[in-house]
């Protein structure tokens, strides 16, 4: 662990490996979405098949880190101050991700996104303004054809649920004893298994639209990992091994990259695997990452770099993915190697854009907002 008072709070150690793992997961999300461009409607054969589970891993990390950073600070902090801190941390990049999606929107027009061509500029700009607030859009406001609550920046759906988790934490979850938190964790695990194992698809894909089915998926994906992350932090369960960052990264990459289980005939097998990942494997990875008492050398540099990059990369890359998805569909005659080379260029460009957003916009914006909004509370 290292000191990082800006991220965690005065006097608290910073879990550098957990930040690095968030970066690893973000890179896997980008790879998953690049591969998904080739088979967007066929999850049985998609490479990096379980890359979408990175979102569930993010929710687990969020519950752990928020409980660690704020559980013991409420007498001095206050609910409104907590909300301001979370908004300062998350909202600038929500605005940037939505803006990038708006800039690239009309470059995505084609058969993959049938509504774009007929969408007037005023409507796209209205969707962008609503997207800046992270308020979800109903299907009647869809401008793409995928029924997303955030059609300019698809991954923003998970930030919508992240904000819900933050609100629940501030108004009630933080007050729960470990016993009652454990009860909720068990109920949330059953809710997740019901979706993954007994649902019609055998997976947890979804959560990005405002309709009963997608909201069911979104809350099932949010509740267990966020609550389990809180409980894991409070119980102090840590596993100490050598080379923790490398071991955790390998476990996470394998978990996200394994092919789909069970095929079309036994989808419950895949649901069982995904339940096992979220309920057992991901908490194990976090327990190992949190148990590292010393991180130095190359691991420090890698974890630090990708930890800082993780959120900007996650929230800004999908505008390019939309463009790439349409381009792949329209250029099926090109050699596969050519399309892969274009995908590699998109991957590099996504990292470059995220890094530029981090250094030139996100860090300065958060510093300015903190000075304006938090100085008065501190004083």
Share of the chain above pLDDT 90, in %: 82
Q: How many C-beta atoms lie closer than 10 Å to residue 215's C-beta?
A: 16
Does 60 score more than 60 pLDDT? yes
Q: Can you give the residue range of the structural domain that contains 83?
A: 2-378
* 292 against 83, higher pLDDT: 83
- Three-state DSSP state, 44: coil
Mean pLDDT of 59-69: 97
Give φ, ψ of 352 to 5 degrees: -65, -45
Q: What is the pLDDT of residue 44?
A: 86
Q: How many C-beta atoms lie closer than 10 Å to residue 177's C-beta?
A: 9
Q: What is the pLDDT of residue 1?
A: 54
Contacts of 352 (CB under 8 A, 6+ apart): none
Share of the chain above pLDDT 70, in %: 94
The Cα–Cα gap between 109 and 168 comes to: 38
Q: What is the pLDDT of residue 294?
A: 65
The Cα–Cα gap between 349 and 257 comes to: 22
Q: Comparing 98-102, 325-329, 338-342, 372-376, which segment has the lowest mean pLDDT?
A: 372-376
Residue 369: exposed, middle, or buried by beta-carbon count in 10 A (0-12, 13-18, 19+)? middle
Mean pLDDT of 317-331: 95
Segment 125-171, tens digit of pLDDT: 999 999 999 999 999 899 999 999 999 999 999 999 999 999 999 99
Confidence of residue 232 (pLDDT cuts 50, 70, 90): very high
CB 192 within 8 A of CB 278: yes
Confidence of residue 13 (pLDDT cuts 50, 70, 90): low
The Cα–Cα gap between 297 and 69 comes to: 26
Confidence of residue 47 (pLDDT cuts 50, 70, 90): confident
- Three-state DSSP state, 335: coil
Confidence of residue 22 (pLDDT cuts 50, 70, 90): very high
Does 124 score more than 90 pLDDT? yes
Domain count, the chain: 1
Chain centroid, CA 363 distance in Å: 19
Residue with tokens 């569909």: 329
User: Which phi-psi region, left, alpha or beta, contains residue 236 (left: φ > 0; alpha: ψ -120 to 50)?
Assistant: left
The Cα–Cα gap between 97 and 105 comes to: 12
The Cα–Cα gap between 122 and 288 comes to: 50
Q: What is the pLDDT of residue 374?
A: 85
The Cα–Cα gap between 4 and 279 comes to: 29
* Residue among 173, 149, 145 nearest 74 (CA): 173
CB 20 within 8 A of CB 311: no
Q: What share of the chain is helix, strand, coil (3-state, %, to 5)?
A: 70, 0, 30
State the helix-helix crossing angle for 318-330 and 16-36, rounded to 10 degrees: 20
| DSSP-derived secondary structure letter, 333 | T
The Cα–Cα gap between 99 and 201 comes to: 33
Does 4 score more than 60 pLDDT? no
Confidence of residue 303 (pLDDT cuts 50, 70, 90): confident
Does 378 score more than 60 pLDDT? no
CB 196 within 8 A of CB 274: yes
Q: What is the pLDDT of residue 302?
A: 85
* Residue among 5, 8, 23 nearest 303 (CA): 23
Give φ, ψ of 166 to 5 degrees: -60, -40
Q: What is the pLDDT of residue 376?
A: 57
For residue 343, give both structure tokens. Answer: 């995908």
Segment 241-296, tens digit of pLDDT: 988 999 999 999 999 999 999 988 999 999 999 999 999 999 999 999 999 866 66
Q: What is the pLDDT of residue 375?
A: 64
> What does the H/E/C string look like for 144-200?
CCCCCCCCCCCCHHHHHHHHHHHHHHHHCHHHCCHHHHHHHHHHHHHHHHHHHHHCC
Does 26 score more than 90 pLDDT? yes
pTM summary value: 0.94
For residue 181, give both structure tokens. Answer: 């938190």
Segment 175-209, tens digit of pLDDT: 999 999 999 999 999 999 999 999 989 999 999 99
Mean pLDDT of 57-80: 93
Helix and strand numbers, DSSP H then E, in the chain: 16, 2
Q: Comparing 7-11, 36-40, 242-246, 329-333, which segment has the lowest mean pLDDT?
A: 7-11
């Amino acid at each position: 662990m290292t000191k990082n008072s800006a991220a965690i709070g005065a006097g608290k150690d910073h879990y550098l490996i957990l930040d690095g793992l968030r970066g690893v997961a973000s890179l896997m999300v980008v790879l998953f979405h690049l591969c998904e461009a080739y088979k967007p409607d066929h999850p049985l054969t998609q490479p990096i098949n379980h890359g979408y589970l990175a979102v569930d891993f993010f929710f687990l990390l969020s519950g752990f880190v928020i409980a660690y950073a704020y559980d013991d600070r409420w007498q001095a902090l206050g609910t409104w101050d907590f909300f301001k801190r979370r908004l300062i941390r998350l909202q600038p990049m929500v605005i940037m991700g939505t803006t990038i999606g708006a800039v690239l929107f009309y470059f995505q027009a084609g058969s993959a996104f049938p509504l774009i061509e007929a969408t007037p500029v005023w409507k796209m700009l209205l969707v962008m303004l609503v997207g800046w607030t992270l308020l979800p859009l109903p299907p009647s406001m869809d401008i793409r054809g995928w029924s997303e609550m955030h059609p300019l920046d698809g991954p923003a759906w998970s930030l919508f649920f992240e904000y819900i988790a933050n609100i629940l934490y501030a108004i009630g979850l933080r007050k729960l004893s470990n016993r009652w938190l454990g009860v909720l964790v068990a109920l949330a695990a059953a809710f997740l298994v019901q979706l993954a194992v007994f649902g019609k698809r055998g997976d947890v894909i979804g959560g990005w639209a405002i309709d009963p089915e997608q909201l069911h998926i979104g809350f099932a994906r949010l509740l267990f990992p966020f609550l389990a992350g809180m409980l894991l932090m409070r119980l102090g369960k840590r596993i100490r091994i050598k080379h923790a960052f490398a071991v955790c990264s390998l476990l996470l990459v394998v978990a996200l990259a394994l092919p789909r289980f069970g095929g079309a005939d036994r989808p419950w097998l895949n649901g069982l695997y995904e339940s096992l990942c979220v309920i057992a494997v991901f908490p194990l990875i976090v327990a190992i990452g949190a148990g590292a008492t010393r991180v130095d050398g190359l691991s420090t540099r890698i974890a630090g770099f990708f930890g800082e990059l993780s959120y900007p990369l996650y929230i800004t890359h999908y505008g390019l993915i939309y463009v790439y998805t349409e381009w792949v569909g329209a250029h099926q005659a090109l050699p596969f190697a050519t399309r892969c080379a274009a995908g590699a260029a998109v991957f590099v460009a996504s990292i470059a854009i995220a890094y530029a957003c981090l250094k030139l916009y996100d860090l300065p914006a958060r510093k300015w907002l903190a000075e304006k909004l938090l100085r008065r509370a501190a004083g």
